[in-house]
């Protein structure tokens, strides 16, 4: 049972910032328990500030790539589905096929921040820190419930 890992999908619109950061943090905090994937309804290249602020936090997301959610439909069974964007929430089925638990993490999109480079960087740091705190807390909850998940798998 030690090889058992929970598949987790993080769904967003562009899969260029928030979901990529969450993938990095969930892998950091719970990579021993889960395989973490992220995807978008309209994927775009990963925002350079997302990569930069994650590196500043000690997490390398440079090898991650933006993916369309259809890449995973029918190919990987997901136990957890975490949705970041209201648009993704509306465009995708309310229940991902086979997903046992679905969560909505409505963090603002730092890529929409207007202003100076410093203001944009600050927005990415703020959202990164919120996502990290949520990912750490959520990972702790999953860790506590792992025995229940393993028994139902």
Q: Which domains does the chain have, with CATH numbers?
A: 6-144 (3.40.50.2300)
78 contacts: CB under 8 Å, gap ≥ 6: 7, 8, 9, 37, 72, 96, 98, 99
pLDDT digit string, tens, across residues 3-56:
789 999 999 989 999 999 999 999 999 999 999 999 998 999 999 999 999 999
Task: Summarize the chain as % helix, strand, coil (round to 5).
Answer: 45, 15, 40
Gap between the Cα atoms of 51 and 57, Å rounded: 10
Q: What band does 1 get if pLDDT is binned at 50, 70 and 90?
A: very low
- High-pLDDT (> 90) share of the chain, %: 63
Gap between the Cα atoms of 148 and 17, Å rounded: 32
Q: What band does 87 get if pLDDT is binned at 50, 70 and 90?
A: low
Gap between the Cα atoms of 144 and 65, Å rounded: 30
Q: Taking 50 as the threshold, does the pLDDT of residue 98 lie above it?
A: yes
User: Token pair of 12, please?
Assistant: 């967003």
Classify burial at 142, counting beta carbons within 10 Å of its beta carbon; exposed 0-12, middle 13-18, buried 19 or more: buried
The more confidently predicted of residues 72 and 95 is: 72
SS3 category, 148: helix
Report the predicted TM-score, pTM, of the whole model to 2 decimal places.
0.89
Q: What is the mean pLDDT of residues 51-78?
A: 94
């Amino acid at each position: 049972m030690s090889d058992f890992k929970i598949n987790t999908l993080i769904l967003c619109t562009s899969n260029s910032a928030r979901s990529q950061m969450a993938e990095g943090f969930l892998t950091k905090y719970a990579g021993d328990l889960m395989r973490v994937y992220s995807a978008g309804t309209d994927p775009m290249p990963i925002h350079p500030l997302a990569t930069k602020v994650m590196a500043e936090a000690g997490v390398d997301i440079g090898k991650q790539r933006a993916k369309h959610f259809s890449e995973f439909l029918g190919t990987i069974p997901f136990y957890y589905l975490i949705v970041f964007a209201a648009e993704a929430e509306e465009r995708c089925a309310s229940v991902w096929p086979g997903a046992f638990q679905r969560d909505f993490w409505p963090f603002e999109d730092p890529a929409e921040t207007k202003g100076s480079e410093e203001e944009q960087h600050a927005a990415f740091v703020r959202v990164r820190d919120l996502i990290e705190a949520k990912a750490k807390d959520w990972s702790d909850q999953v860790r506590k419930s792992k025995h229940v998940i393993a028994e139902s798998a």
